[in-house]
Structure 1
Amino acid sequence: MSTWPMRTLRGLMCAVAAWMPSSASAGDLDISKLSSNLDLASLSDADLAARSITILRIGNVELTSGRIVASDPLVGPDRPALVRAVTPGEYPVTLYEAFGRVAAASMRFAEGRPVRWELAVIPGQDINSLKGDEFFGYPVDAGLGCYMDADTYALIQEREKQVQAEKSTSDINYYDDVLAPELEANKDDYAMHRPISGKRGNVAIFSSGWGDGFYPVFWGLDAGGRPLVLFTDFGVTENADGRREPGGQ
C-alpha cells in the first residue's frame, strides 16, 4: 500500500477566516475580501520588484483535457477538476515569492488584465451556500500545492506502480521515492514533475506559503468571461506587497 507523507511545516498558517468579514453573505460574496493579492497576476516585472516580490517562471503545464486540478499533489492528486475548463494546451506557471516563501501561484491562459475575478469551485460546491466567513478552496496537508490536468492523475498512478515494481513492494512513499530529488534541486520551492517520461502530462508543484492550511483559487476573466489566469493565494502577503509582513504596521 502506498503512502502520501506529510512534509515538515515551514511556519504557522494565518487564520483564513480573517480574509472575509463575518457580516458578508453568500449573495454578496466580495472576491476582494478573500484576497487582496490578485493584482500580482497583472503587475509588470518592474512593479513586482519594487514591491519586493520575486517571480519564478517555472515552465508550462501540459493540459491534455483542459480540466484543471488545483490541490495538494501528495494527499489530493485525485481531487475533482475545477468546474470551469480551458482549451487544452501548454500554459505557463508563475510563482510569486515574498518573505522567503511562495506567496502565490498563477497559470496564464491569455494576455490581458482580468476585469472580473471569481472563486474557483469543483462539482458540488455552490457559492450561494457560503455563509459568514466561509469560502471554498483546497486543503493542504503536505506543505505543497499544484496545478495539473485531471488526466495526469492516471500517470501518477502509473509511476507509482513502476516504483512498486522496482522496489518489489507495494509500500512506497511517492514524496521520498519520486518527488524529493526534483524539489530539492529547487530549494524545495517547486518542481515541474513529469510522472512518466515520454508521455504528455506534467504537474507544476510548489511550496504552499506558510505550509499546511486551506487555500482559495480564483479565475481571472476578461470582459467576455474568457479565462485569462488561474490564481492561488497562500496568504503570505497583503495588498500584493512583499515589503511589509501581513498585519504589520
Structure 2
Amino acid sequence: MRSATRSFAWCLLLAMACAPAGRAPAVEASWPLSQEALFSQAFAPGFTATPPDGPIALSRIEIGKLGVPSGRIVACDPFVCDRIEAFSRRVPTGKFPLQLAVARLPHDDERVAFARILFADRPAARWEMALRPGQTLEDLKPGYIHGYGVDTGTGAFMDAATQAPYLAATADEAATMRLVDVLNAAPVGTRAWLLRPYGQANVAMFSSGWGDGFYASYFGLDSAGRVVALVTDFGVVEWRAGK
C-alpha cells in the first residue's frame, strides 16, 4: 500500500466489483467441462455452461491489442504490482488481441470470467499453469495454485518492459485516481476494462470476476509446444481437470 489516497482508490474499485448487472441467453453445453474444453469454448460466440445453480452464458469482448515488446508477460493487480515478476515462459513479441469472456449469471449479474491474450489463431492442445521464476508445480499442495492476489477488484496484463514506466506513472496518486474514475464510469459496474499506453507499449486492466481473490493464469500450447494464448481464470466458472 502506498498511501491513504491509494487505499481510497481500492475502496472505489471494490465497490465497483460488487454491483449487479446483466441478463442470460439460451444456448447450452454439458456440465461440468474440462479445463481444455472450457478454455477453448469460453471465447466462442453463443456459449453457455449449465451448472446446477443456473446457466452461465459467456460472451467475448475485444478490448484492443496488447503490446508485447520483450516477450515476457506480467499478470497482476495493476494497483498492487510493484513486486510481481514476469512469467518464466516467453511469448511471441508484437501486438496481440486482448479479449474478455464475460459471464452473464442468474439474478442479473455479469462478471469477467476470463481474460485472454491471443498470440496465434491455432487451437491449444494443452494448458499449463503460468509460473514465475522459482515456482514449480511440484511444490503445490493438492487444490492449490500459483497466481496473483487481487486487492482492488482488478486484474491486468502488461509486458515486463512496460512495468517500470507504468509504476512510475501511477506513483502519482492523481494519475491513479484518474484510472479509477475511468474504471468506475463503466456502464456495467461489475465488468470494466481499460487500455492505456505506458513506455514502449500499454497496460490492459479489467474487472476480476467476483473481485478480490487469488487467481491463476494458464498458457495454451499447440501440438508443437508453441504458445498460442495466455488466459487468467477469475474463478467464475468451475471446471474439472482432465479431458
Could you report, residue by residue, the CA deviation over 1:30-71 in whole angstroms, capped at 9, with x for unpaired residues? xx57x8732335x53244699621221000111111110011
Aligned to 2:151: 141
AA at the equivalent of 1:39: S
Q: Do the aligned residues in 2 keep the contact of 1:143 with 1:208 (CA within 8 Å)?
A: yes
Aligned to 2:180: 180
Q: How many residues align?
A: 207
Greater strand content: 2
AA at the equivalent of 1:194: P
TM-score normalised by structure 1 residue count: 0.74
Query: How far apart in 2 are the matches of 1:132 and 1:157?
Result: 35
Relative distance call for 1:51 and 1:160 in structure 2 (3 A) is closer
Alpha-carbon offset, residue 156 of structure 1: 1.5
Aligned to 1:8: 14
Alpha-carbon offset, residue 155 of structure 1: 1.3
Query: How far apart in 2 are the matches of 1:122 and 1:143?
Result: 22
- Aligned CA-pair RMSD: 2.9
Aligned to 2:131: 121
Query: How far apart in 2 are the matches of 1:175 and 1:142?
Result: 12
Q: Do the aligned residues in 2 keep the contact of 1:71 with 1:77 (CA within 8 Å)?
A: no
Query: How far apart in 1 are the matches of 2:66 and 2:161?
Result: 12
1:238 partner SS: coil
AA at the equivalent of 2:135: Q
Query: How far apart in 1 are the matches of 2:161 and 2:82?
Result: 11
Q: Once structures 1 and 2 are overlaid, which stretch shifts more, 224-233 or 44-53?
A: 44-53
Relative distance call for 1:64 and 1:185 in structure 2 (3 A) is farther
Query: How far apart in 2 are the matches of 1:237 and 1:134?
Result: 17
User: Equivalent of 2:80, from 75, 99, 102?
Assistant: 75
Could you report, residue by residue, the CA deviation over 1:1-35 in whole angstroms, capped at 9, with x for unpaired residues? 94343232535xxxxxxxxxxxxxxxxxxxx57x8
Alpha-carbon offset, residue 200 of structure 1: 2.7
TM-score normalised by structure 2 residue count: 0.75
AA at the equivalent of 2:197: R
Query: How far apart in 1 are the matches of 2:37 and 2:147?
Result: 16
Query: How far apart in 2 are the matches of 1:227 and 1:54?
Result: 23
Q: Do the aligned residues in 2 keep the contact of 1:2 with 1:174 (CA within 8 Å)?
A: no
Q: Is 2:94 the partner of 1:89? A: yes
Task: Work out which structure has the larger RCO, using CA pairs closer than 8 Å and 6 or more positions apart in sequence.
Answer: 1
Aligned to 2:201: 201
Relative distance call for 1:192 and 1:239 in structure 2 (3 A) is same
Aligned to 1:190: 193
Q: Do the aligned residues in 2 keep the contact of 1:109 with 1:227 (CA within 8 Å)?
A: yes
Relative distance call for 1:216 and 1:180 in structure 2 (3 A) is same
Structure 2 residue runs of 5 or longer lacking an equivalent are 19-33, 50-54
Counterparts of 1:230-241 in structure 2, within 5 Å, are: 230-239=230-239
Structure 1 residue runs of 5 or longer lacking an equivalent are 12-31, 164-171, 241-249
Relative distance call for 1:185 and 1:89 in structure 2 (3 A) is farther
Alpha-carbon offset, residue 89 of structure 1: 0.7
User: Equivalent of 1:66, from 71, 78, 92?
Assistant: 71
Q: Do the aligned residues in 2 keep the contact of 1:56 with 1:94 (CA within 8 Å)?
A: yes
User: Equivalent of 1:56, from 43, 61, 64?
Assistant: 61
Aligned to 1:103: 113
AA at the equivalent of 1:224: A
Identity level (%): 37
Runs of 4+ in structure 1 off by over 4 angstroms are 48-51
